[in-house]
Each structure stands twice: as structure tokens, then as C-alpha cells.
Amino acid sequence: MRGKTTSLAREVVPRGEYTLTLKAQGALVEGSNEKLREELYLTRRAVQYVVDVLWELDKLPTINQAHQMFYKMLREQGFRAHQAKQIYKYALALVKAAKKNKGRKPVLKKLSTRLDKYDAKVDLENQLIIVKLRNRVFRIKLMHNRDYIKKFLGRKWYEVIISIDKRGRVWVCIAFRWEYNPYKPKGMISIDVNLKKIVAYNDKKVRRMNTRFTEALYLKHLAENIQKKHSYAWRRNRKWLETIRALHRRSRNIVVDWSRKFAKYVVLKAKRMKSAIVLEDLEKLWFNASRKSSSLADKLSRYAYRKLQLAIITKGSPLYMIYMFWSSVHPFPPQSVGLHSSLRGRSPPTLGDGTSAYNII
């Protein structure tokens, strides 16, 4: 974990290189949709072949060893030099991640390809992308708002991802690197995350905002009720199976989408005020709750505190993690955790129910 660690709190200050991604729908200016689909299909088949070979190995090879194993074969199939390199690098990363997480063998379904600066050219001024796949050249026009594209002008890109979805639409993702320079916080914004509401305090006023965790929990319960009602048929009935999967997918998407949007809101506010964000460290909360009450564990299954915490960190803002046992009993101890001098000596406000703004339980 980045930053310094103490016995009462953990400071997380993002620093170093981060990634920004431009995603936009594309329209082919040169080349046909059928030819692009064919190239993406051949790329997917090559990546899947490399994944199948790597999966059978007891020890994964290094990048140099993978180059010796697959480069000549991929070149014989007509792939460009750096395109072949991207194929075995991507396949190696997939297999390494799957084995590390003790998962199943990766099976690629999406038609997509990754290209570097040798096989792609990006012209954001004219919103034009030129990609070279084997012996074919495609020109793709970015169909997005000009104001959105301007945010990425002047940044250094390092990878272009071209994909086609089930509806035949072309999508372009361009990854940029940017350097984050941490600022010295002059104040604080404390965030009290609950299942139904979030309470935010910025040294002046308290604001309560609704979360969408309960909405996601409701969709999860709908899916589970279908499974209970049709305990025998839901695995064999395609209609019920697709309904259950759709409900779980919507539930997950709500949690991820809301966490990212709220993180963006609070990080932008913290940057304007030059403030640090204070959260409570709820490590092993669900694990401890599941040992005491199954109903409480069920409610906490959509309490995506970690996703919200990760979204705040990745968007780049100084963050202080306060241990739960301390914030539930005592006011915030700035001198003990080494916060900025402007934060010392301040106690959190008491809300209507007598609970501290730092207390999450």
C-alpha cells in the first residue's frame, strides 16, 4: 500500500503513473466492416490458441521465452511483427491472472485487438484513427463530442484497442499515461458510508446522499427468489437462466457505476478545496458479520465499500483510512496519525442520532 502506515490510521497518497482511457464509437472511413470483423476474428483465434498452449504448461514462460515459442508461427499467419508481440503478451497476461486467482482457462468471446504505436496512428485533432491489421489498413472516425476529445489532446497514448460488439458497432479505446502530482491537503472531507445513505462532512456542513446499494440488493433478491421458486427448472430452462443472469448483471453494474460516479464527485470536490478524504477502514467487515448473522451478511453483500474506496484512490486524491475500532469510540486523533497541521485539534460533528460523522457502524 502506498503512503505511510501508523497504528491508528493509514494514509494513501496516490502518486506516479496513472492511466486515462478515451472510449468512443467509430465509423469506418476506409475498409469494410466485414473485413475488419475477419481480422478481429483471426486475432481472437490466435490469442485463444496461445492461451490453450500456455494453460497446459506447469510453469509459465517469460516474455522472451514466449517470443521464441510463438513469434515465428504468428508471423507465418500474416500478423505484423508488433501485432504478434501484442498477441502473445496479452495471452500470457490472461493465463497468469487466471492461474493466480485459481480460475478456469480463459475463453475469449469478444472480437477485439490491441495495437501499439507501430500499428496504429492517432490524430485527435481530426478525430481519426489509422490501424494496420496484417496487410490491411483501416481508417476509423471517432464519433464523439468534440469537447470530450479535447480533454485528451497533448497527452501521450500507448495503446489502441479496436473491438466490434454484438450489434456490429465499432468501438475504439485509447489508453493514455499521465503523471499524478499529489497536493498537500489543507482540509478534510470525511465520508461516512452506510448501506442506504452516505454522510459527508467538510468542516462546515453535513450533507446526506442516498446510495444505490439497496437497489442492487433488491435485484439480487429477485434473482434468488426465482432460483428458490424454480429450484429444479432454472438451471435447465433458458428463459429463467437468462433472467437470473440479467438481474445479477444489473445489480453488479449498479454498484460499479454508482461507486465510480460518486468517487468522481467527491474527488473533484476535494481537489477544488485542496482537501484530503477520510474513510473508515472496514477490513473483513463482511467476513465478521457472516459469522454472527446470515441476514446481515446478505445485506452487506451489496455494500460495495471496497469498490468505492478503490475508485477514490484510482481517481487521484489523498486518502486517510481510519481504523474502525477507533472511530467508533473516539473523535478523530490527528496528532496520532500525522495529519496536516490544519486538521489537528478538530473533532467531528455529532449527527442527529448522536453518532460521529466518522462512525460508519
DSSP state, 72? H
Angle at 275 between CA 183 and CA 348, to 5 degrees: 145
Domain locations along the chain: 18-179, 183-343
Q: By C-alpha distance, which of 92, 91, 143 is closest to 113?
A: 91
Burial class (CB in 10 A: 0-12, 13-18, 19+), 191: buried
Domain 183-343 has CATH 3.30.420: yes
- For residue 113, give the DSSP letter: E
The region, left, alpha or beta by phi > 0 then psi within -120 to 50, assigned to residue 154 is: left
pLDDT at 335: 39
pLDDT of residue 14: 54
Cα–Cα distance, 180 to 54 (Å, whole number): 36
Per-residue pLDDT of the chain (361 residues; tens, 9 = 90+): 333 333 344 555 555 567 788 999 999 999 889 999 999 999 999 999 999 999 999 899 999 999 999 999 999 999 999 999 999 999 999 999 999 988 889 999 999 999 999 999 999 999 999 999 999 999 999 999 888 898 888 888 999 999 999 889 999 999 998 776 667 778 888 887 777 888 888 778 888 888 888 888 888 888 888 888 877 777 777 788 888 889 888 988 888 888 888 888 888 888 888 887 887 776 666 666 667 766 766 666 667 777 777 777 777 666 665 554 444 434 444 433 334 434 444 444 433 333 333 333 3
- The whole model's pTM is what? 0.64
